[in-house]
Amino acid sequence: MMIVIMKAHATMREKSAVIAWAEDAGFKVHLSEGDEQTIIGVIGDGRPLNREQAERLPGVERVVPVLKPFKIASREFKPEKTTFMLGEHEVGGKGLIIMAGPCSVESRSQLLETAHAVKEAGAHILRGGAFKPRSSPYSFQGLGEEGLKYLAEAREQTGMPVITEVMEPAMVPLVCEYADILQIGARNMQNYALLHAVGESQHPVLLKRGMSSLIEEWLMSAEYILSHGNGRVMLCERGIRTFETYTRNTFDINAIAVAKHLSHLPVIADPSHATGKWEYVSAAAKASVAAGADGLIIEVHPHPTEALSDGAQSLKPKRFAQLVQEMKRVAQALDRDIES
């Protein structure tokens, strides 16, 4: 359904042309004529309406779409919250899920040390990048399959499922071999070939919001995955790009509650990217819990000053352990929890 608002001085001929256009396309039409302006409601049968065509018709001032452009991702489609298991822990329920680990897998020892530390501190899922999207072709690009192998080894040793980013469709099968959860990075939120591929994979997916994506576009990208029958999708707010540069990104904390209002999917917060500075990760993480996030993904590195990427925003294990305890207290104050 959409509403066509006619210009103040639109002629009868122009109004008739809009009505004819809509009816020719098989839609029903409602006409409301005011003293100053006429509006025409165009009511469809579920098929998408071409808003831009309508905007080009003579005498049309503006076109307002009424129905939300996403379906399967919406609360109207599925009113109750989506929950699913990640290893032994449920996401989307009362308990919050904690994912932690280094930005990049840098070496076997670095990963295993971190994995044991975050498990000890209370994390449920191990994160770590094997393929890294870097704005410079001259920066460290990740260990690739070797990194995936270390992740698999860390899972064996700790029992934690692992999440890692996949950057291109051709790599989806390889990453699925090693990882339990696929991460779509912010830069790839609208890489549709990749969304199709992870949809087909049937692996659980963490979909990061693009750094300048509307909440609605984020849900549309989720819709791409869901439309392949893969219902295990988590949304991840990781900060957006604004004029403020003191922090790496601006954490859109409102988006957590909005996404949960519009959609049934679990929403995860990424306070590490949302701030870009370790000093502020803790405040952002606790705020996420208070705002209703279903989980968090946090960068932890045993020796941040030696990290090959994102050192500035990584917590040391000890600080992370303390943060988990603080988040747990906030969660419990609001009738949720972080299970050990």
Q: Is 216 in the site for its own copies (CB under 8 A)?
A: yes
Contacts for 211-216: CB closer than 8 Å, 24+ residues apart: 211/186, 211/187, 211/238, 211/239, 211/240, 211/241, 211/249, 212/240, 212/241, 213/189, 213/240, 215/255, 215/258, 215/259, 215/262, 216/68, 216/69, 216/70, 216/262
Q: Which of 12, 52, 80, 340 binds its own copies (CB under 8 A)?
A: 52
Query: Smallest gap, in angstroms, from Cβ of residue 88 to its own copies?
Result: 26
What is the DSSP pairing of strand 2-6 with strand 38-43? Answer: antiparallel
Give least dist CB 150 to its own copies, A: 21
Among 109, 173, 229, 333, binds its own copies (CB under 8 A): 333
Question: Binding of its own copies at residue 170 (CB under 8 A)?
Answer: yes
309: contact with its own copies by CB under 8 A? yes
Residue 135 near its own copies by CB under 8 A:
yes
Residue 107 as a binder of its own copies (CB under 8 A): the answer is no
C-alpha to C-alpha distance for 286 and 323, rounded to whole angstroms: 8
Q: Does 50 bind its own copies (CB under 8 A)?
A: yes
x/- track of binding to its own copies for residues 7-36 (CB under 8 A): -xx-----------x------x-x-xxxxx
> Do you know the residue count of the chain?
340
Residue whose tokens read 């692996």: 203
Rounded to the nearest whole angstrom, what is the least distance from the CB of residue 242 to its own copies in the complex? 5
Two structure tokens written together for 307: 């990290």
Q: Say if residues 269 and 260 touch (Cβ distance below 8 Å).
A: no
| CB of 148 vs its own copies, minimal distance in Å | 16
Q: If we measure between CA atoms, which residue out of 205, 219, 213, 328 comes closest to residue 264?
A: 219
The 184-213 contact track toward its own copies, x by CB under 8 A, reads ---xx-xxxxx----------------xx-
Least distance to its own copies from the beta carbon of 157, Å? 27
Q: How far is the CB of 156 from its own copies (least distance, A)?
A: 29
253 binds its own copies (CB under 8 A): yes
Q: Give the list of residues 6+ apart from residue 234 with CB closer than 8 angstroms, or none.
A: 91, 204, 205, 206, 207, 265, 266, 267, 268, 294, 295
Angle (CA) 319 325 328, round 5°: 140
Q: Which of the ranges 56-64, 86-94, 107-115, 174-182 carries the binding residues for its own copies, by CB under 8 A?
A: 56-64
- Binds its own copies (CB under 8 A): choice among 310, 317, 324, 338: 310
Q: What is the CA radius of gyration of the chain?
A: 23
48 binds its own copies (CB under 8 A): yes
Pick from 162, 198, 220, 338 the residue near its own copies by CB under 8 A: 220
